C-alpha cells in the first residue's frame, strides 16, 4: 500500500510560514517509529490554520510507560508537558494524582464537537471517575496478519482463515511443518501495557481485576488459558523466544506464517514487506463470535496550567482527534480513527477503507471492543512488568502456565493498593 497525499479541501498539506506565535503548547508522545510522521504532519497543518498557536513536539518517549514516568517526574519539577499522548490504560495514574485536566467544560462550550462525530465507545476510553479526561487519538484492536504464500504452501485455504484457537493452532502446525526457518505463529506478547495478555484474557471472558480493584481478577481458568495459549504457540506453532523487533523482522522476511499483534502495525508491515509476499489480515482468534476484543492506544490528555494555554492546547487536541487529524493519522499509521465523520466521508477515509481490505479487519471488531485497562495505585508500572516477566517465562520454557499464573498473581497482588 503506498502512502497517498491527503487533500484537505483544495490544499495539500505543506509546512507553512509562520509569524511569531502568541501561545506555545508543548506536546509529548511516544513510539516515534510509529507516530513521528503523523504527529509532525498534524502539527504543520494545525499551525497553518492557527498561526497564533505554536506546537512544540518534545523528544518522544520510547513507550507509553516512559511517557507516563516523564509526567510523574514532571509533577515533582513543575515541568509537565501541556499535552501528552499516553496509553489509555494509564490514564488513572494522572487522574488519581489530580494532574490531568478534565475536558468536560471545554467540550460543553465547543459547538463543533458533536458535529465531528466522535464515536461514543471510543470516547469512553478517555472517561474516568465520571469525567472526560482524554480524547482518543489512535486506537487499535489486535488482529492476525498472515503470509498468503506460506498458507498456500501448507495446503491451507488463504480465503478462509480460522477464527478460533483450535483452527489457528492447526494452521500453525501445518505451516511449521514446512520446515526451518519457517515457523507457524508468533504473538507480540511484549506489546506495551500487557495489551496482548489482555486480548487473550478478555476474549475468554476473564477479568484483569476484582470488583474492588484490590486483587487481580485473572487468578481464574481464563487467566490460566491465556498462559496456556502462549505455551501452545511455542510447542505447536514454533514461536521463538525472541524480542518483539526480532519477531516482526522474521515475519517481514517471510519466515512466520501468522503474526498476531495490534492493527496499528498495518502500515508499517505493508511498507516493509513490499513485494516479498502477499500480506493478509484476519480477526483475532476468539472462542466465541461474541467474545470481547480489547481496544486501546494513544489518547490526548491535557495538563496545561493557565487558562490561555489550556484553551490553545484544547484547540490542538480537537484538531488532532477531529476528522482531518484522524485522516492524517490513519494514512500514516493505520490505527482506528475516533471520528465517524472521517470514516464516512469519501474525501477523508471513506474511500481508504473501501479500497483496502486489510484495513477493514480491525474496523469490523469495533462493535465487540472493550477497554484496555491498567493496574491501580502507584505501583501500576511494576505490576505491568510482573505480567511481562510471567509471560516471558512461558515463552522461554522456564515455567509452566500454572507456575507463571501463580507467580504473576502473587507479585501483582502484592503491588496493588489495599
**pLDDT of the residue at 20:** 56
Furthest C-alpha separation in the chain: 64
Q: Considering the chain, what is the average pLDDT of its residues?
A: 92
Tens digit of each residue's pLDDT (9 = 90 or more) over 311-357: 999 999 999 999 999 999 998 887 889 999 999 999 999 998 988 89
Banded model confidence at residue 50, pLDDT cuts 50, 70, 90: very high
| pLDDT above 50 (res 2) | no
Q: What span, in angstroms and rounded, lies between the C-alpha atoms of 145 and 171? A: 13
Q: What is the DSSP string of 111-160?
A: TTTGGGTB-HHHHGGGEETTEE-EEEEEEE-EEEEEEHHHHHHTT--TTS
Q: Against a cut of 0.75, is the pTM above it? A: yes
Half-sphere exposure of 390 (CA within 13 A, CB side): 26
Are 204 and 226 in contact by the 8 Å Cβ rule? The answer is yes
Angle at 315 between CA 309 and CA 318, to 5 degrees: 140
**pLDDT of the residue at 189:** 96
Banded model confidence at residue 134, pLDDT cuts 50, 70, 90: very high
Banded model confidence at residue 239, pLDDT cuts 50, 70, 90: very high
Q: What span, in angstroms and rounded, lies between the C-alpha atoms of 177 and 373? A: 37
Interval 384-402 mean pLDDT: 97
**pLDDT of the residue at 21:** 59
| pLDDT above 80 (res 386) | yes
- Tell me how far CA of residue 145 lies from CA of 33, 101, 259, 282, 379, in angstroms: 19, 38, 5, 6, 34
Q: At what angle do helices 244-252 and 266-273 cross, to 10 degrees?
A: 50
Interval 230-240 mean pLDDT: 97
**pLDDT of the residue at 17:** 45
- Structure-model confidence comparison of residues 192 and 226, the more confident one: 226
Interval 187-213 mean pLDDT: 95
Interval 29-43 mean pLDDT: 94
| pLDDT above 70 (res 8) | no
Are 184 and 174 in contact by the 8 Å Cβ rule? The answer is yes
Banded model confidence at residue 4, pLDDT cuts 50, 70, 90: very low
Mean pLDDT is lowest, of 161-175, 219-233, 344-358, for 344-358
**pLDDT of the residue at 10:** 30
| Structural domains of the chain in order of their starting residue, each with its CATH number | 7-140+295-367 (3.40.190.10), 142-283+375-415 (3.40.190.10)
| pLDDT above 50 (res 6) | no
Q: What span, in angstroms and rounded, lies between the C-alpha atoms of 365 and 122? A: 13
Interval 352-378 mean pLDDT: 89
- Structure-model confidence comparison of residues 367 and 145, the more confident one: 145
| pLDDT above 60 (res 3) | no
Banded model confidence at residue 34, pLDDT cuts 50, 70, 90: confident
**pLDDT of the residue at 384:** 94
**pLDDT of the residue at 186:** 97
Give percent above pLDDT 90 in the chain.
Answer: 80
Q: Which residues, including other chains, have CB under 8 Å from residue 303's CB and lie 6 or more apart?
A: 71, 80, 81, 82, 83, 84, 94, 99, 100, 101
Are 223 and 275 in contact by the 8 Å Cβ rule? The answer is no
**pLDDT of the residue at 192:** 85
Amino acid at each position: 500500500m503506498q502512502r497517498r497525499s491527503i487533500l484537505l479541501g483544495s490544499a495539500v498539506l505543506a509546512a507553512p510560514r509562520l509569524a511569531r506565535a502568541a501561545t506555545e503548547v508543548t506536546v509529548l508522545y511516544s513510539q516515534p517509529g510509529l507516530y513521528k510522521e503523523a504527529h509532525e504532519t498534524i502539527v504543520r497543518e494545525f499551525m497553518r490554520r492557527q498561526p497564533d498557536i505554536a506546537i512544540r513536539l518534545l523528544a518522544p518517549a520510547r513507550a507509553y510507560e516512559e511517557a507516563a514516568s516523564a509526567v510523574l517526574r514532571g509533577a515533582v519539577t513543575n515541568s509537565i508537558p501541556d499535552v501528552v499522548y499516553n496509553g489509555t490504560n494509564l490514564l488513572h495514574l494522572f487522574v488519581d494524582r489530580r494532574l490531568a485536566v478534565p475536558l468536560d467544560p471545554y467540550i460543553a462550550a465547543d459547538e463543533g464537537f458533536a458535529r465531528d462525530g466522535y464515536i461514543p465507545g471510543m470516547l469512553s476510553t478517555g472517561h474516568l471517575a465520571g469525567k472526560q479526561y482524554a480524547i482518543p487519538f489512535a486506537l487499535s484492536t489486535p488482529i492476525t496478519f498472515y503470509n498468503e504464500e506460506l498458507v498456500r504452501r501448507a495446503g491451507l485455504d488463504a480465503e478462509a482463515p480460522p477464527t478460533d484457537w483450535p483452527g489457528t493452532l492447526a494452521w500453525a502446525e501445518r505451516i511449521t511443518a514446512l520446515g526451518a526457518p519457517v515457523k507457524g505463529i508468533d504473538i507480540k506478547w511484549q506489546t506495551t501495557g500487557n495489551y496482548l495478555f489482555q486480548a487473550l484474557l478478555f476474549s475468554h471472558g476473564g477479568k484483569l481485576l476484582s470488583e474492588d480493584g484490590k486483587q487481580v481478577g485473572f487468578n481464574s481458568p481464563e487467566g490460566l488459558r491465556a498462559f496456556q495459549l502462549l505455551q501452545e504457540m511455542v510447542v505447536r506453532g514454533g514461536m521463538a523466544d525472541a524480542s518483539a523487533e526480532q519477531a516482526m523482522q522474521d515475519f517481514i522476511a517471510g519466515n512466520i506464517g501468522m503474526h498476531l499483534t495490534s492493527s496499528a502495525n498495518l502500515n508499517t508491515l505493508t511498507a516493509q514487506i513490499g513485494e516479498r509476499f502477499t500480506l493478509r489480515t484476519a480477526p483475532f482468534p476468539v472462542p466465541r463470535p461474541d467474545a470481547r476484543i480489547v481496544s486501546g492506544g494513544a489518547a490526548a490528555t491535557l495538563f496545561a496550567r493557565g487558562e490561555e494555554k489550556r484553551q490553545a492546547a484544547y484547540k490542538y487536541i480537537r484538531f488532532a482527534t477531529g476528522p482531518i487529524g484522524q485522516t492524517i493519522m490513519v494514512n500514516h499509521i493505520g490505527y482506528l480513527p475516533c471520528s465517524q465523520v472521517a470514516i464516512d466521508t469519501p474525501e477523508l477515509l471513506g474511500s481508504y477503507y473501501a479500497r483496502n481490505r486489510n484495513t477493514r479487519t480491525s474496523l469490523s471488531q469495533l462493535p465487540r471492543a472493550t477497554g484496555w485497562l491498567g493496574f491501580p495505585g502507584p505501583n501500576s508500572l511494576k505490576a505491568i512488568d510482573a505480567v511481562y516477566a510471567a509471560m516471558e517465562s512461558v515463552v522461554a520454557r522456564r515455567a509452566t502456565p500454572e507456575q507463571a499464573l501463580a507467580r504473576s498473581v502473587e507479585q501483582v497482588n502484592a503491588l496493588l493498593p489495599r
